[in-house]
A and B are shown apart, each in its own frame.
Chain A
Amino acid sequence: MGEIKLMKGNEALAEAMIRAGCDAYFGYPITPQSEVLEYLAREATKRTGMVVLQAESEIGAINMIYGASGTGKRVMTTSSSPGISLMQEGLSYIAGAELPCLVSNINRGGPGLGTIQPSQADYFQAVKGGGHGDYHLIVLAPNSVQEMVDFVKLGFELSEKYRNPVMILADGAIGQMMEKVELFDYIKRTEEIPEWATVGKKKGQDRNYITSLFIEPETMERVNLRLQKKYREIEANEVRYQTENLDDAEYIFTGYGLGARICMKAMELGREKGYKIGFIRPISLYPFPYQVYADIAPKVKGILDVEMNAGQMVEDVRLAIEGNTRIEFYGRMGGMIADPEEILNYFEEKYINGGA
């Protein structure tokens, strides 16, 4: 059993970075995630020699990440919605240049300057694009402080395995809440330098260069085909999700992150009232667990998708079920968080009382 501590989400994320042997963190303050940079500024360098630097902006930070990652180092940055918008150019370049890195979005309400309260309105940005071009981030959605910690370790592994950026899509509530967490032991970092890294040309070998520019269309198409092949591999191998009570389910509650936690409680309340409710929680938002929904759809009367946005993940659920069952959406926006009773009431209104 690893060390157990009561920690705030943001700080647990930072602690996990230290233990995972992150070589460098470049970040910028923004509520509700500034604690990550602050914790690392206090703790990281003296414990592992991690480079911790407050950049001049999120644009500076993501480009420092690009540079350091290109030299084969394990790097991470964090931000929140408006700052993540600034990082989109960098993320597109990092994906195009096939470099690893880990980034976390502690999602706050938007659009624009929005609010500092939690939100899930960055699902589209994270999963469907964000930056320009045909690329994907691998997106992991924690629903607890424990998963914040676990996904740092997993995130680094996935990003290095596929040479692709990975995003931990959390929200302001998970970032700020305090929970019991089991911390993993320090990971011993390899001294090996990846063969593509820019660390100085070796005698007798070609020098390495890192670029996402391929100006001839034939070459650009070949590069894109290579990226797409990688994404098919990721889709085949890295789908992650949690399900509960699917065996006898007549209805499914679904959500991700914090929304999923509330859904699960609503399901428990519903079960107490005799409703046969099951639960699906995507953990990887990209690659999305389409098959789980496709399999269950013909067997249930309907799905209720609950999110802290105007309806984003629900589009993927709709795609997955191919019209084979009914789907309803319940969303709170702007930093408002639904409670389980509210969700159950909506479920009853839509599915039980006259809503058939």
Chain B
Amino acid sequence: MSDNQSLDNQDVLAREDIRKDEFLVYEKPDTLTDTPFHYCPGCGHSTVHKILMEVIDEMGIQGDTIGVAPVGCSVFAYHYLNVDMQQAPHGRACAVATGIKRVRPDKMVFTYQGDGDLAAIGGNETIHAANRGENFTIVFINNGIYGMTGGQMAPTTLEGMLSTTSPYGRDIETMGHPMNMTQIVAGLPGAAYVTRQAVYKPSLTRKAKKALKKAIQVQQKGLGLSLVEIVSNCPSAWKMTPLESHDFIVDKMIPYFPLGDIKVPEEL
């Protein structure tokens, strides 16, 4: 169309003619607000927010859900997730969720935490919530780095991986091994369902979505703690393009943090 032609051309559909239910192929669920995400291009948070909220929408539990946001890139999760939410001090989400679930046991309670939040400062709260078999669901985004604060080393940073506090690469001798926190949690009897997923390609995203649904069902059955780890990326702090970061997940992260169910309750 040339610059001179007006849009009153009858071949062009009006906006209200396009936005009809019969033409609807996909829409954002009600369980996400209209606030644009601030996450970096290619970041896994966006995908996980979406599938988590799609599950809550499909299960019809928006009005019975209380989420706990961490400190980290997803500290603002409460601006995006259209459910009642509490923002917790760094690492304390599992204790905050314990408080919520113990006094409101009929609600679906979840935490959404990064690797520093869950495994470093929050290690004790995470382990003890699992040990007590608290009936809430942890969504654990593991990208092996502290994104929000500028790219420092995390408990799950891989050997040799560069970060602002391991500028010559993670050195096992002085900094220890990358920590498999999910394994530690799975070893506790109170942890009922523990699984590791990824969202860097659609087939895995669909699997991750199913895992989130399963986790919530475990909670609804009162079987104990459910934990869904998502091995994810941080293009910004890893200093990679989004596509390079997906390769890094495949080549480096997943060999150390293999995908799949780690613990599944018999009842499922």
Among residues of B, the one whose C-beta sits closest to the C-beta of A210 is B86
A203 interface residue per 8 A CB criterion: yes
Q: Mark B60-98, 1 if CB is under 8 A from A, else 0.
A: 001111101100000110100011111111001001111
Residues of B within 8 A of A210 (CB): 85-87
Verify B128–A209 contact, CB threshold 8 A: no
C-alpha gap A51/B84 in the complex (Å)? 22
**Tally of B interface residues using CB under 8 Å:** 33
Contact A207/B85 with A63-B96, A201-B63 known, Cβ cut-off 8 Å: yes
Verify A67–B86 contact, CB threshold 8 A: yes
Give chain B nearest CB distance to A320 CB in angstroms. Answer: 35
Contact A70/B89 with A24-B103, A201-B63 known, Cβ cut-off 8 Å: no
**Tally of A interface residues using CB under 8 Å:** 39
Verify A200–B65 contact, CB threshold 8 A: yes
Residues of B within 8 A of A69 (CB): 99
Residues of B within 8 A of A93 (CB): 89
Residues of B within 8 A of A213 (CB): 75-76, 87
Verify A66–B99 contact, CB threshold 8 A: yes
Contact A51/B103 with A56-B125, A200-B65, A203-B63 known, Cβ cut-off 8 Å: yes
Among residues of A, the one whose C-beta sits closest to the C-beta of B128 is A56
Give chain B nearest CB distance to A159 CB in angstroms. Answer: 16
B239 interface residue per 8 A CB criterion: no
- Contact check: which of B83, B95, B103 meets A23 at CB < 8 Å? B103
Residues of A within 8 A of B62 (CB): 200-201
B207 interface residue per 8 A CB criterion: no
Among residues of B, the one whose C-beta sits closest to the C-beta of A93 is B89
Give chain A nearest CB distance to B133 CB in angstroms. Answer: 13
- Contact check: which of B64, B83, B89 meets A63 at CB < 8 Å? B89
C-alpha gap A351/B251 in the complex (Å)? 81
A residues 48-80 in Cβ contact with B at 8 Å: 51, 53, 55-57, 59-61, 63-71, 73, 75
Residues of A within 8 A of B82 (CB): 201, 207
Verify B63–A209 contact, CB threshold 8 A: no
C-alpha gap A75/B84 in the complex (Å)? 20
Give chain A nearest CB distance to B127 CB in angstroms. Answer: 8
Verify B103–A66 contact, CB threshold 8 A: no
Verify B89–A67 contact, CB threshold 8 A: no
Verify A202–B124 contact, CB threshold 8 A: no
> Which of B65, B76, B99, B125 lies at the interface centre, i.e. has the most chain A CB atoms within 10 A of its CB?
B99
B102 interface residue per 8 A CB criterion: yes
Contact A26/B84 with A56-B125, A89-B89, A209-B78 known, Cβ cut-off 8 Å: no
A324 interface residue per 8 A CB criterion: no
Verify A60–B125 contact, CB threshold 8 A: yes
B104 interface residue per 8 A CB criterion: yes
- Contact check: which of B78, B96, B107 meets A64 at CB < 8 Å? B96
Verify B86–A24 contact, CB threshold 8 A: no
Verify A67–B96 contact, CB threshold 8 A: yes
Verify A68–B87 contact, CB threshold 8 A: no
B141 interface residue per 8 A CB criterion: no
- Contact check: which of A63, A71, A202, A209 meets B125 at CB < 8 Å? A63
Give chain B nearest CB distance to A356 CB in angstroms. Answer: 54
B228 interface residue per 8 A CB criterion: no
Verify B63–A53 contact, CB threshold 8 A: no
C-alpha gap A202/B84 in the complex (Å)? 9
C-alpha gap A59/B85 in the complex (Å)? 20
Verify B87–A209 contact, CB threshold 8 A: yes
A residues 200-230 in Cβ contact with B at 8 Å: 200-203, 207-213
A90 interface residue per 8 A CB criterion: yes
Residues of A within 8 A of B83 (CB): 200-201, 207
Residues of A within 8 A of B76 (CB): 213
B residues 95-145 in Cβ contact with A at 8 Å: 95-100, 102-104, 107, 124-125, 127-128
Verify B78–A211 contact, CB threshold 8 A: yes
Residues of B within 8 A of A61 (CB): 95
Verify B102–A66 contact, CB threshold 8 A: no
Contact A200/B125 with A55-B95, A67-B68, A68-B103 known, Cβ cut-off 8 Å: no
- Contact check: which of A64, A208, A211 meets B95 at CB < 8 Å? A64
Residues of B within 8 A of A207 (CB): 82-85
Contact A59/B92 with A68-B99, A200-B65, A203-B63 known, Cβ cut-off 8 Å: yes
Verify A209–B86 contact, CB threshold 8 A: yes
Give chain A nearest CB distance to B257 CB in angstroms. Answer: 26
- Closest A-B pairs by Cβ, 7 of them: A67-B99, A64-B99, A63-B95, A67-B96, A198-B84, A56-B128, A68-B99
Known: A63-B89, A199-B66, A212-B87. 18 other contacts (CB 8 A): A23-B103, A51-B102, A59-B124, A60-B124, A61-B95, A65-B99, A67-B68, A68-B100, A73-B103, A90-B92, A97-B86, A200-B63, A200-B65, A200-B83, A207-B83, A209-B85, A210-B86, A211-B69
Q: Which residues of A are in contact with B by a Cβ distance under 8 Å?
A: 23-24, 26, 51, 53, 55-57, 59-61, 63-71, 73, 75, 89-90, 93, 97, 198-203, 207-213
Q: List 25 A-B contacts (CB under 8 A).
A: A24-B99, A59-B124, A59-B125, A60-B124, A60-B125, A61-B95, A66-B88, A66-B89, A67-B95, A70-B96, A71-B103, A71-B107, A89-B89, A198-B84, A198-B85, A198-B86, A199-B107, A200-B62, A200-B64, A201-B65, A207-B83, A208-B84, A208-B85, A209-B87, A211-B87
Q: Which residues of B are in contact with A by a Cβ distance under 8 Å?
A: 62-66, 68-69, 75-76, 78, 82-89, 92, 95-100, 102-104, 107, 124-125, 127-128
